[in-house]
Each structure stands twice: as C-alpha cells, then as structure tokens.
Amino acid sequence: MGILTSDKIKEYFLKSSDDKLIVTPILDPDTQLGLTTIDLRLGPKFKVDLRTREPVIDLNDERPIETFFDHTYRNFGERFLLYPNQLVLASTFEYVKLPKDLFGLLITRSSWNRLGINLTSIVQPGYAGVLTLELMNKSSNPIALYVGLRLVQLCLFTVEGTNSDQYITQSISKYVAHSEPKTSNISEDKDIEILNNKFRNTIRH
C-alpha cells in the first residue's frame, strides 16, 4: 500500500469506467491538486446537532439519529459559524468516487487544524458520493467558515489483496451516491443485535 502522488492521481482520472477515480468538480486544479493530496471544499449543506427532550443517543432506541440534527444551508461564499464544542455534519462540495483499488484518508488542512478544527476519516474503496465532514471546533472561540473554502485534503492509497470486491459491495450498500452530509448509520450496525440477543436480553447471573 503506497500513497498516490499527483502524477498517479492524474493517471487515475484518465482511466475508464469502473477503474476511474472521480473527483468532480475541481474548480481550481492548480491549487487543489498537491503533491500527494487533493484539496476539497466545504459544501453548502449542514446538519447541526440539537439538544432535545430525550437527549440520549442509544442504539437500542428506535429514535432515528437524524432527529438529533437540524438541517440548514448556506450559499457558496456565505458564512457558517462553528461554535466551540458543537458537532456539525457538513460535506465536501466535490463528489468523489473511488475505484475498487483505492482507499482514501480525509484530514483537515493544517491551517484549519491549528484553529481547532481537526477531523480524520477514511474513505472506503468503491465509495461514491460527497464526503461527510464531522466538524468540531475545539478552540474557545467561534470560527467562521465559508462555503467553498478548501477545508480538507484527501490522500489516496492503493489497496493490496484479493478480497476487495466484497469490500466494495458492503461499502456501496451502506453509502449510496450521497449528495449531502450523512448522519451516522451506527443504528444499522449488526453488532448491537448480536449483543442484545446473545448477552443483554439473556443476562446470566
């Protein structure tokens, strides 16, 4: 597994159909394509976490996680204030589709890290959609973000091994062509069912 340089990234852009890497639209290729990264911009839609009357996110509750968030949007170039310790789900402006042999690592650009916004997230091979950004301001001051600013960078790695097809299937069935930030789908996690059936509901004293 090695990190892709800009030359390799460009090669992937030119491949055909399923093997092709897609990052669209890249508004300013000269500044967005770095030596080993692609800078991605902040998209217009936001999901802001809410304090609610039943404030517990519990996988065993039927309440959808979506209800813990309020939706809003800003136009391109418009300001969005990120308050300290507030969780906001945003997304990249760009739509990304990885071929089955690439794996992505998404991290905040260092200039934003130093202001107190840092996120790291992985992008599975075969993923198609905008990339959800879990924004959290760890400084003590609100930070003004502007839609369209380059906020994160995507590093790409080649995947080694032979079972990548299965990996893609699982990944795509979970994340399908999203065009806006996606809240957690942790409630679809099968582990909770196993835990409930095998342990929680049959506690052995």
Partner 1 sequence: MLTSELSYLNGLINDLYDFEEELKRLSLKVYPSPVLKQFITKELIPIVLNIRDIFIKDKAKLDEDPHYNISAKTKAAEIIWSSGYLQHFAWAISESNIKSYPLEIMSFFKDLIHELDTSNFEILAVPSHEINFSFSEVWLPLKDYLEKNIGLKSNNETLLIKLTFPHTHRHNLFLSCIYAHEIGHYFDRRNDFWGDIFTKVIKDRFILKKFKPILRTSSDVDNDAIRIVILQKVLGSWIREAIADCFAVCLLGPAYVYSTMEFNIFSSGRQQFHNNLLMNIYSLTHPPNHLRNNFQVKLLKELGLFRVLNNRLKNEITEYNDQINKSASYYRDSETRLDLDDTLYLVENKEFYDVIEELWKSTLTPIKSRVKSFLKNNVMTPKQVEEALRLAEERIKLAVPPNEYEGKAASVPAILNAGWFARLQYRADMEKVLNNIKGEKADYNFLENLNSLIRYALYASQVHKRWQE
- Provide the binding-site residues for partner 1, judged by CB under 8 A: 17-18, 22, 24-25, 27-28, 44, 71-73, 76, 93-95, 97, 128, 130, 148, 169, 172-173, 176-179
Closest to partner 1 by CB, 140 vs 173, is 173
Instruction: Return the closest-CA partner of residue 8 out of 40, 37, 41.
Output: 37
> CB of 17: closest distance to partner 1 in angstroms?
6
Backbone angles phi, psi at 182, to 5 degrees: -115, 130
Catalytic residue, candidates 134, 160, 188, 193: 134
23 beta partners: 96
Closest to partner 1 by CB, 6 vs 24, is 24
The Cα–Cα gap between 59 and 193 comes to 10
Opening angle at CA 172, ends 26 and 131, nearest 5: 35
> CB of 50: closest distance to partner 1 in angstroms?
14
Strand order of the β-sheet with 37-41 is 37-41, 150-158, 102-108, 120-123
Q: Does the annotation mark 193 as catalytic?
A: no
The Cα–Cα gap between 58 and 53 comes to 14
Closest to partner 1 by CB, 61 vs 78, is 78
> CB of 184: closest distance to partner 1 in angstroms?
18
Active site positions, annotated? 134
